[in-house]
Structure 1
Amino acid sequence: MTLPPLADRAIVVGARAADWREAVRLAGDALVDSGCTTAEYTEAMIRMVDDHGPYIVIAPGLALAHARPGADVRCEGLSVVTLAEPVEFGHAHNDPVRVVIGLAGVAPDAHLASVAALANAFNDSSAIAAVAAATTRDQVRAILQGRSGA
Structure 2
Amino acid sequence: MSLYDLIGPEGIVITSESNLSVDSAIDLACSTLISNDKVEPRYVEAIKQQHKAIGPYYVLAPKIAMPHARPEDGVNESALQLTVFQSGVNFESEDNGDVYLSITLAAKDSNSHINTIMALSELFQNDGDINALINAHEKANIIDVLKRY
Same fold, TM exceeding 0.5? yes
The separation in 2 between residues aligned to 1:83 and 1:119, in whole angstroms, is 20
Q: Structure 1 pair 88/121, CA: closer, same or farther in 2 (3 Å)? A: same
* Mean Cα deviation higher: 24-33 or 110-119: 110-119
Q: Structure 1 pair 35/141, CA: closer, same or farther in 2 (3 Å)? A: farther
Q: Which runs of 5+ in 1 are unaligned?
A: none
Identity %: 27
The separation in 1 between residues aligned to 2:126 and 2:7, in whole angstroms, is 20
The separation in 2 between residues aligned to 1:48 and 1:125, in whole angstroms, is 28
Aligned residues: 147
* Mean Cα deviation higher: 56-65 or 39-48: 39-48
The separation in 1 between residues aligned to 2:80 and 2:106, in whole angstroms, is 6
Q: Deviations over 1:82-141 (max 9, x none)?
A: 112111112122111111111100000123432222111222122222111111222112
**Structure 2 length-normalised TM:** 0.88
Q: Is the 8 A contact 1:87 1:96 kept in 2?
A: yes
Q: Structure 1 pair 47/111, CA: closer, same or farther in 2 (3 Å)? A: farther
Letter in 2 for 1:125: D
- Once the two structures are TM-superposed, the CA of residue 72 in structure 1 deviates from its matched residue by 1.2
Q: Is the 8 A contact 2:46 2:73 kept in 1?
A: no
Misfit runs of 4+, over 4 Å: none
- Once the two structures are TM-superposed, the CA of residue 7 in structure 1 deviates from its matched residue by 2.2
Counterpart for residue 9 of structure 1:
10
Letter in 2 for 1:8: P
Letter in 2 for 1:111: H
* 1:104 and 2:80 correspond: no
Letter in 1 for 2:137: T
